[in-house]
C-alpha cells in the first residue's frame, strides 16, 4: 500500500495509521485472555505516518485511545465533526510528540452491555462470563498513572505507576503516601464519565474505604 501511495505521488498527502486489536495476556496477572484493565491485556499498537507533514522516527509516550482517531481523521481532512465525539484530535501530539496534553484516557468496560443498558451500572457478570473480569472504569493520565475502579461495591481501587512499574505488579492505592493521587484520579475518572455523558456515573458503587 505504501509503495502504491509513493508511486502515485499521494504518500505525502495521506495519513497512514497502523493499529490492531488489543493485547492478549499469556499468564500476566493470571490471565490468558483480553479484557482485564492491565496493559498486557488491553494495550494496542498505534503508528501514524504522513511524511513531510509529521515528524518521522519519533515516539510519543502520551497515553491516547482509539476514540481519538475519528476526530483526528476529520481534522486532517479539514472537516468539521458531524456530531459530538468523545475523543480528541491528536494532531498537536502528532506534530510535536512532546507537546503538553491536558486530557486523560478513559476506558469503561462493560463488555456486551452498552447504550441504554449502561444508564446505570449493569449487574456484575458471572465468573463464567468474559474470563471472570468484573466491570470497571480505567483511567490513565499524562504522567502514566493508571487508576482502576471496579464496578462492584466495596472493592479496593488500584493505582499503578506505569513508568516505575510497567508490569503493574504493585498496587499503590492502599499506600497512604499515594492517597491524594487516588483521590485526584477518582475525581478525574468521574469528571471524564460526566464529560462523555456516561449516565452510569450517577450509580457508581462505593469503593472500599
**DSSP per-residue letters across 59-79:** ---S---GGGHHHHHHHHTT-
Going from the C-alpha of 140 to that of each of 38, 45, 103, 105, 189, the distances in angstroms are: 11, 16, 9, 5, 9
Domain that holds residue 206: 104-209
- CATH assignment at residue 183: 3.30.1120
The answer to whether residue 76 is domain-embedded is: no
Residue 41 lies in a domain: no
In SS3 terms, 10-60 reads as CHHHCCEEEECCCCCCCCHHHCCCCCCCCHHHHCCCEEEECECCECCCCCC
What pLDDT, on the 0 to 100 scale, is given for residue 172? 98
pLDDT score recorded for residue 199: 95
| Residue 209: per-residue pLDDT | 81
* pLDDT one digit per residue (tens) for the chain, 209 residues: 999 999 999 999 999 999 999 888 889 998 888 889 999 999 999 999 999 899 999 999 999 999 999 999 999 999 999 999 999 999 999 999 999 999 999 999 998 888 999 999 998 876 545 567 889 999 999 999 999 999 999 999 999 999 999 999 999 999 999 999 999 999 999 999 999 999 999 999 999 98
Number of domains in the chain: 1
Q: Is residue 128 part of a domain?
A: yes
**Degrees (nearest 5) of the Cα angle 126, 196, 127?**
5
pLDDT value of position 127: 56
In a domain, 52, yes or no: no
| Residue 81 within a domain | no
pLDDT for the residue numbered 129: 56
- pTM: predicted TM-score of the whole model, two decimal places: 0.93
State the residue for C-alpha cell 471496579. Answer: 150
**What's residue 123's pLDDT?**
86
Look at residue 112 in the predicted model and tell me its pLDDT.
Answer: 84
In a domain, 49, yes or no: no
177 in the Ramachandran plot: left (φ > 0), alpha (ψ -120 to 50) or beta? alpha
| The predicted structure's pLDDT at residue 124 | 80
Residues in the chain: 209
Amino acid at each position: 500500500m505504501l509503495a502504491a501511495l509513493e508511486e502515485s505521488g499521494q504518500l505525502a498527502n495521506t495519513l497512514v495509521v497502523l493499529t490492531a486489536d488489543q493485547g492478549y495476556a499469556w499468564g500476566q496477572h493470571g490471565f490468558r485472555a483480553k479484557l482485564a484493565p492491565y496493559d498486557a491485556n488491553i494495550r494496542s499498537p498505534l503508528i501514524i505516518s504522513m511524511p513531510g507533514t509529521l515528524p518521522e522516527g519519533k515516539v510519543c509516550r502520551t497515553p491516547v485511545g482509539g476514540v481519538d482517531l475519528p476526530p483526528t481523521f476529520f481534522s486532517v481532512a479539514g472537516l468539521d465533526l458531524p456530531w459530538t465525539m468523545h475523543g480528541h484530535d491528536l494532531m498537536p501530539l502528532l506534530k510535536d510528540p512532546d507537546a503538553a496534553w491536558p486530557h486523560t484516557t478513559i476506558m469503561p468496560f462493560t463488555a456486551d452491555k452498552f447504550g441504554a443498558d449502561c444508564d446505570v451500572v449493569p449487574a456484575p457478570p458471572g465468573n463464567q462470563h468474559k474470563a471472570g473480569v468484573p466491570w470497571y472504569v480505567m483511567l490513565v493520565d499524562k504522567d502514566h498513572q493508571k487508576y482502576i475502579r471496579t464496578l462492584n461495591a466495596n472493592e479496593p481501587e488500584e493505582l499503578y505507576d506505569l513508568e516505575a512499574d510497567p508490569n503493574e505488579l504493585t498496587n499503590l492505592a492502599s499506600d497512604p503516601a499515594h492517597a491524594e493521587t487516588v483521590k485526584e484520579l477518582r475525581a478525574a475518572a468521574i469528571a471524564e464519565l460526566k464529560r462523555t455523558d456516561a449516565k452510569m456515573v450517577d450509580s457508581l458503587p462505593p469503593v472500599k474505604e
